A = this chain, B = another copy of it.
Amino acid sequence: MTNIRRAFVTGAAGFIGSNLVDRLLRDGVRVVGWDNFSTGQRRFLTGALQNGDFDLVQGDNLDLDGLTRAMEGCDVVFHLAANADVRFGTDHPRRDLDQNTIATWNVLEAARNNGVEKFAFSSTGSIYGEPDVFPTPEDAPFPVQTSLYGASKLAAEGMVEAYCEGFGLQGFVFRFVSILGERYTHGHVFDFYHQLQQHPDRLRVLGNGRQRKSYLYVGDCVNAILAAIERADGRVNRFNLGTDHYCEVNDSIGWICETLGVQPEIEYAGGERGWIGDSPFIFLDTTRIRSLGWEPTLDIRQGVVRTVEYLRDNEWVFDVRAA
């Protein structure tokens, strides 16, 4: 990745962000990390902070001036900071607008102010809503949004594309399935682990456990992002990121329990969806990113197990999230 002069990473202290920062530094890239530490963890940057090529700036994406100053000299932006809470969107309907839509506009505007060349954005498979086509390709039929989170990411995608068209940046939009692995701090594996930590004999599950989901290991996610940045040459490049498989929530529960050696009684809340806006089936077509030569190194089961092992070795993340 010697073709990046200096990278700017928003959400640098987050789950995916900190993994990307470590990888960029390992590749010899100078990195400016930006985070407001609303959910990011300084501990995730312990290694990075010992590297002379890394600068950490604490700041919020709603502060355009601060963003513009911090981004000075950067040629590639990885915009990963977001409200990643799909589930409680309707409890605070302004949050996705602020933290995902308006925030992305600010990061784009700062990028334009600094003459940034490449802009990578972490979107989500949730923007496909409840698609009719599986695996769902990037050019699936125009979706209907089913969550405020999905809507805010769709909005951000559109702005990224319009900025590329209007101002000459090159754009990379990544639609993730759920990402798993080291530093994972929210989502179903986190919730299930947390429950089993407190009461190993029972597990409450939202929905009927039959929701089908796809997961990708964070290391594979970072590999894919960098492969695309390096090799894709369109003005706007959109990639689904996921594995070629899916599992049921019940499969995942089995792997988690097996790894932890527990056999809880499982209580299902019932219903096809875990919550309003939950997609009962997410499975993305990854032909496009694979055509660049990328492929995942871990399958879904391995990703789940790796995540459970990480959580077992790092139970401090539960204390921090609860605080």
A-to-B contact residues, CB < 8 Å: 89-90, 93-94, 97, 101-102, 105, 109, 112, 127, 129, 138-148, 150-152, 154-155, 157-159, 161-163, 165-167, 236, 238, 276-277
B155 & A158 in contact (Cβ 8 Å cutoff) = yes
A141 & B139 in contact (Cβ 8 Å cutoff) = yes
- 9 additional A-B pairs beyond A89-B162, A145-B161, beta carbons within 8 Å, are A102-B102, A129-B161, A144-B236, A146-B165, A148-B162, A148-B166, A151-B155, A151-B158, A155-B155
Least Cβ–Cβ distance between A57 and chain B, in angstroms: 23
Which among A143, A151, A158, A159 has the greatest number of chain B C-beta atoms within 10 A?
Answer: A158
Residue of B nearest to A156 (CB): B155
Report the Cα distance A99→B159, complex, angstroms. Answer: 14
B277 & A165 in contact (Cβ 8 Å cutoff) = yes
> Which residue from B109, B143, B161, B167 sits with its C-beta under 8 Å from A151?
B161
Residue numbers in B under 8 Å from A101 (CB-CB): 97, 101, 155
A147 & B165 in contact (Cβ 8 Å cutoff) = yes
A142 & B139 in contact (Cβ 8 Å cutoff) = yes
Residue of B nearest to A93 (CB): B109
Least Cβ–Cβ distance between A166 and chain B, in angstroms: 4
B90 & A167 in contact (Cβ 8 Å cutoff) = yes
Question: Interface majority SS on A: helix, strand, loop or mixed?
Answer: helix
A162 & B142 in contact (Cβ 8 Å cutoff) = no
Residue numbers in B under 8 Å from A90 (CB-CB): 166-167
A143 & B145 in contact (Cβ 8 Å cutoff) = no
> Which residue from B105, B129, B162 sits with its C-beta under 8 Å from A146?
B162
> Which residue from B89, B129, B154, B158 sits with its C-beta under 8 Å from A150?
B158
A166 & B277 in contact (Cβ 8 Å cutoff) = yes
> Which residue from B109, B146, B159 sits with its C-beta under 8 Å from A155?
B159
Least Cβ–Cβ distance between A157 and chain B, in angstroms: 8
Report the Cα distance A152→B97, complex, angstroms. Answer: 12
Residue numbers in B under 8 Å from A150 (CB-CB): 158, 162
Residue of B nearest to A139 (CB): B141
Report the Cα distance A67→B80, complex, angstroms. Answer: 33
> Which residue from B94, B147, B162, B238 sits with its C-beta under 8 Å from A147?
B162
Report the Cα distance A49→B166, complex, angstroms. Answer: 42
Residue numbers in B under 8 Å from A152 (CB-CB): 158-159
23 residue pairs A–B, Cβ–Cβ below 8 Å: A90-B166, A93-B166, A94-B105, A94-B109, A97-B101, A97-B159, A102-B102, A129-B161, A138-B142, A140-B142, A141-B142, A145-B157, A145-B158, A145-B159, A145-B165, A146-B165, A147-B165, A148-B166, A152-B159, A155-B158, A155-B159, A165-B277, A166-B277
Residue numbers in B under 8 Å from A157 (CB-CB): 145
**In the complex with contacts A93-B109, A105-B97, A162-B145 CB distance below 8 A:** yes
Report the Cα distance A147→B164, complex, angstroms. Answer: 9
A158 & B154 in contact (Cβ 8 Å cutoff) = yes
Residue numbers in B under 8 Å from A158 (CB-CB): 127, 145, 150-152, 154-155
Residue numbers in B under 8 Å from A139 (CB-CB): 141-142
